[in-house]
Structure 1
Amino acid sequence: MSDPTSMNSAVQVYKRFVPDPLRAAAANTLPDGMRRSVKRSLAQTLRRREARLHQRALRRVRRAGLGRSERRTEAPDGRIGHVHTGLTTDLARRFDHDLVTRALDSAGICWFAVPALDDRRICLAVEQRDKGAVRRVLRALLEEHTGYVTSVSPAQPDNPGEPGSHVKAWKHYAKARVIRLAWLRTEPTENLWTGDDQGIEIEFWTRNTNLPTERLIGPRPNRVQRAVPSDAPGVEIGFDRLCGYSDTDAELEPTVTLETFDVVRLDELDFPVDAVVLFEHATPWGEELLRAALRSLHQYAPWTRVIHVLARTEPPAWLSDAEGIDVVRARPGAEAQLHRLPGLAPHFLLLRPGAVVGRPIRPFDYFMPGGAARPRRGRWTAEESIAPWARAAFSATGRAVAHGYAGGPQPHRVETLARLAEKGTPLPEAPDGQRAAIVPGTHPLDGVAHHFGQLNTLADPSGEASVTLHAALPGLPVQLRRLLARRDTQQIQLTGLGTDAALAGGGTEAVVGFLHRYFPVPSPFEVPSPFEHGPEAPSAPAVSSRKAVRQR
């Protein structure tokens, strides 16, 4: 948007209020200098008016107490970021939503949430007639709590170094139908950043009075409908109904949408999903693998109902008994009997030592709406085709295996494991992936269960970003730095931490250091350490990312 106080805006106002005949007469009778003086005086009047309106909006924002953080810091790209202890991607999303909605409320602007096609971001709708007031209050908000604005539709070249409090950052606003507000947020170690991949998008809806029923028309498609009655009632709706990456806790603060948008999404699951984490190595690096698995679920899969820790050895002392976690001592071979685990949900993710979630995930990424699991296809080699698990899968189904399965978190169903147990198919002995000299292939349980599930409509294998690394790999530091810089891998499997080559060559130490940087935020399942950053977290949203689950 051009500066509303500029000469160009003054010219537009001049043309709007001075009739054409009068402008023509003035052009013939008045000197050019006098006409320029009139327009310059008008521009000064607009500038003073805009300054007054901006200060008024800024006072509203400050009275509402918006935009508080522990401190500000400089992001790697030079922009301004905000530090919050205990930050997670879900809490950052809720914090941004609360900032924008409270700012709009302070200015008396009506809004409602929209189920956008890209559910990584929360989308809000306001009427086109409120566009001027929206710009003023949001610019005041971005001045009080430094953030950034860009035009999404039509897309414009980003200006990432220009804070949203500057008039220059809004130069495309006049033509924008959708804008995005983003705040860069990080935790005290500044290893985890959120912002550009999230943010709040604001759509400007227009009124259509051509039909007997007045309607609001959206500027772009969404997951439900683009036109809604203007008098549709508003209803409260949970974040998880708009964003599949959010916590499903019903006690968390909801948002507001129109009744016509409160419909079930195609990718919305109506069943809970648990997680099972295996702890098998009573070593420092084994504990770090367990810690990383819990932190990855807390950070990137807050919708998990209960986390079951199956410990084949004494659980570490730092593991707490918080709500939402269940620690069970297990004997060798218990992994094949997970369907008998008391309290386990019919659908669950299985994380073996070294398996972590690398980016925000949805339940839909691992399970179909009908309940079918979605395991990840892996490499298929000559060794895999003659592996014991491939023969066991053929014995259980009578059908040959055509592909392997990747490591990392594994989606499983209790029904699949129970039906396999009824068939009595013996499973080959599984190698210890953390003491194997090379990257292990498909795990026998995963291979047999997923192949059986695929042939019985209980699983639908797919392909997603997945990486498996061995701690003795010569180029391991480069691979770890790449994962840390990009953070675009959905699931990661780290192996070989207990091998002599990894321990002697520094690979184990490199992996542990990588996990500390990749998952710097402690989970609620760890006993607080006096050495953790910040004894309190006043700047994060006053909500918990875990649900109150009754302990067994």
Structure 2
Amino acid sequence: MSDATSMSSAAHVYKRLVPQPVRSAAATTVPAGVRRKVKRGLARTLGRREARLHRRALRRVRKVEFGHSERRTKAPDGRIGHVHSGLTVDLARRLDHDLVTYALDAADIPWFAVPALDDRRICLAVEQRDKGAVRRAVRALLEEHTGYVVSVSPAHSDTREIPGSHLKAWKNFGKSRVIRLTWLRTDPTETLWLGEDQGVEIEFWTANTDLPQERLVGPRPNRVQRAVPSDAMGIEIGLDRLSGYLDIDGDLEPTITLETFDVPRLEEITFPVDAVLQWQHPTPWGEQLLRAALRSLHQYAPWVDVVHVVAQAPVPSWLGGDDRLNVVHAQPGAEWRLHQLPDLADAFLLLRPGALLGRPVRPFDYFTPHGATRPRRGPWSAQESFSPWTRAAYTATGCVTAHGYAEGPQPYSCEVLDRLARTGAEPLQTADGQMMSTVPGTHPMDGLVHHFGYVAGLADPSGEASLVLHAALPGIENHLERLLVRRDTQQIQFFGLGSEQALTQGGTDAVRHFLSRYFPVASVFERGEPEEPDTYS
């Protein structure tokens, strides 16, 4: 450790200041009481100095006056959280980044962003010689904005529940090569909690002078390279270039990285991706499904460019309020001609009624960098193998299919739809999934289009399956509560909200109540009052 007072105990400083021969002689000639007295005096001196440096760092942080929340509250696990109106995953990640970088800048600590292997978190790098200054700056930040710190490398999570302003939270810092800072954040309803799987990681890079040109060496691999020239030029770069989960918006505040890190990610999607939502149920539960779909895009897919609502019924009065929303009135069966929508991007997500995103997703979860779609595989059965879509898929391609496709948001390509239309394939009959009494199998359009795209080399079936729930499922409240608490499902698909059994047994109201709690933050596509008070329980 280059800074002897960075996180050193009195014994550590004593060992650094007193050579080994002198310590050995003192151990035999100096009484133990005298040695203890010297060490206690040294500890008091270090404590006073550290307190002065901490107060100085705290004044610098408070001078910035950035990132204050509306109020603080207690999380379900007892830790301290911050309340923010209009909270989104994208906003929380950017706020964490800005808090840490402002604190480092206030302390005059050089830093640069690193494209980490796990792009759920923003990673910053500082030199090992600044480790002591980093601890003081970050501890002051965590005292002003209550958060938590753990050691990532080596892994120690025993300080997870200790506020980062406490000295005990830093007991593993001396040997840490990478630390993680997290802030728990929630919306005013306190049903949406963010931060546990996000945060900012700080790596401590060491200088290597073995070669003629000095290099900085990172403590762990990243997506580009582990060693960089110490005099590499710093450049501005958008946060979306470091994390695929972030909004692609050049107007937002960039970050700083080294020019050697400005290379495309292997999974980076550079083409625009739109979303198409179907609106066909002018009922309270239908509006709730539409709200939830818009909010899931707003919360978990901020990289979506334009949202197109294909309306087969009069649109709700609250729909609108953003220039990225396009409403198109259409007749039943229009979903087979989506490639004819004006100004629709070639790649888009199709969300039928009941299809939702349940956690943050990247464009790469649905598309390859070359533009091919990545639909989810679904279950397969004898009944599925004799369904009309499998016969139509074989007629259009001459190849049999051996699996179905999962429900939920679907990746589509205008090129595939256009090629399929030129083959003369007739649209298949589709049933309204919200009126069915049971969960259907593969949607005919998904099966035909995805299989055609796969045979044409324009689709690569892969990815996670969706969670499918029918509103008439006995004990659905337990399934919904578990989903609300864990929030670990990427795609969700609800069926049967308009079925007689779900309406009479309370399943529809249970789903509506769940949706109002799972997606409490209004999207930019809603205007006026977000929604009526929750009366579904």
TM above 0.5, one fold? yes
Distance 1:358 1:229 in 2: 42
**Preserved CA contact (<8 Å) 2:522 2:530:** no
Where do residues 9-88 of structure 1 align in structure 2 (5 Å cutoff)?
Answer: 9-88=9-88
Where do residues 160-175 of structure 1 align in structure 2 (5 Å cutoff)?
Answer: 160-175=160-175
Local SS of the residue matching 2:9: helix
- 2:246 is aligned to 246
**Preserved CA contact (<8 Å) 2:377 2:465:** no
**Preserved CA contact (<8 Å) 1:127 1:205:** yes
1:29 deviates by 3.9
Where do residues 192-207 of structure 1 align in structure 2 (5 Å cutoff)?
Answer: 192-207=192-207
1:180 deviates by 0.2
Where do residues 203-352 of structure 1 align in structure 2 (5 Å cutoff)?
Answer: 203-352=203-352
- Which residue type is aligned with residue 10 of structure 1? A
Distance 2:15 2:504 in 1: 79
**Preserved CA contact (<8 Å) 1:472 1:502:** yes
1:323 deviates by 1.1
Change (3 A) 1:144 1:465: farther
- Which residue type is aligned with residue 370 of structure 1? H
Local SS of the residue matching 1:412: strand
1:281 deviates by 0.4
- 1:550 is aligned to none
- 1:479 is aligned to 479
Distance 2:184 2:375 in 1: 33
1:304 deviates by 0.4
Query: Once the two structures are superposed, what CA deviation does each residue of 1:474-518 show, in whole Å capped at 9, x if it has no partner?
Result: 121111111111111111110000000000000000001111111
Distance 1:393 1:22 in 2: 85
- Which residue type is aligned with residue 319 of structure 1? L
- Which residue type is aligned with residue 430 of structure 1? T
**Preserved CA contact (<8 Å) 2:416 2:449:** yes
Distance 1:157 1:531 in 2: 40
- 2:424 is aligned to 424
Query: Once the two structures are superposed, what CA deviation does each residue of 1:131-170 show, in whole Å capped at 9, x if it has no partner?
Result: 0000011001001100000000111133332101110011
1:212 deviates by 0.9
**Preserved CA contact (<8 Å) 1:380 1:404:** yes
Query: Once the two structures are superposed, what CA deviation does each residue of 1:64-114 show, in whole Å capped at 9, x if it has no partner?
Result: 113411000000000000000000001000000000000000000000000
**Preserved CA contact (<8 Å) 1:177 1:203:** yes
Distance 2:95 2:219 in 1: 25
- 2:396 is aligned to 396
**Preserved CA contact (<8 Å) 2:365 2:463:** no
Greater alpha carbon shift after TM alignment, 476-485 vs 236-245:
476-485
Distance 1:342 1:525 in 2: 19
- 2:460 is aligned to 460
Change (3 A) 1:121 1:507: same
Local SS of the residue matching 1:36: helix
- Which residue type is aligned with residue 359 of structure 1? R
Are 1:126 and 2:126 an aligned pair? yes
1:7 deviates by 13
1:401 deviates by 1.6
**Preserved CA contact (<8 Å) 1:348 1:411:** yes
- 2:506 is aligned to 506
Local SS of the residue matching 1:76: coil
Greater alpha carbon shift after TM alignment, 47-56 vs 58-67:
58-67
Change (3 A) 1:201 1:341: same
1:8 deviates by 8.1
**Preserved CA contact (<8 Å) 2:273 2:305:** yes
**Preserved CA contact (<8 Å) 1:164 1:170:** yes
Question: What is the aligned residue count?
Answer: 531
Query: Once the two structures are superposed, what CA deviation does each residue of 1:163-192 show, in whole Å capped at 9, x if it has no partner?
Result: 011100111101100000000000000111
Change (3 A) 1:264 1:21: closer
Distance 1:146 1:54 in 2: 15
**Preserved CA contact (<8 Å) 1:392 1:427:** no
Query: Once the two structures are superposed, what CA deviation does each residue of 1:313-360 show, in whole Å capped at 9, x if it has no partner?
Result: 000001014211001111111110001000000000000000001110
Distance 2:461 2:186 in 1: 35
1:526 deviates by 0.5
- 1:386 is aligned to 386
- 1:516 is aligned to 516
Local SS of the residue matching 1:278: strand
Where do residues 517-536 of structure 1 align in structure 2 (5 Å cutoff)?
Answer: 517-529=517-529
Structure 2 unaligned segments of length 5 or more: list them: none
User: Given the two structures, how large is their TM-score scaled by the length of structure 1?
Assistant: 0.94
Local SS of the residue matching 2:450: helix
Change (3 A) 1:22 1:220: closer
Change (3 A) 1:7 1:430: closer
User: Given the two structures, how large is their TM-score scaled by the length of structure 2?
Assistant: 0.96
- Which residue type is aligned with residue 124 of structure 2? L
1:42 deviates by 1.1
Identity within the alignment, %: 69
Distance 1:23 1:376 in 2: 67
**Preserved CA contact (<8 Å) 2:159 2:168:** no
Change (3 A) 1:318 1:226: same
- Which residue type is aligned with residue 419 of structure 1? R
- Which residue type is aligned with residue 202 of structure 2? I
Where do residues 487-498 of structure 1 align in structure 2 (5 Å cutoff)?
Answer: 487-498=487-498
1:268 deviates by 0.5
**Preserved CA contact (<8 Å) 2:90 2:247:** yes
Change (3 A) 1:56 1:435: same
Local SS of the residue matching 1:185: strand
Change (3 A) 1:67 1:253: closer
- 1:546 is aligned to none
**Preserved CA contact (<8 Å) 1:375 1:405:** yes
- 1:362 is aligned to 362
1:25 deviates by 4.5
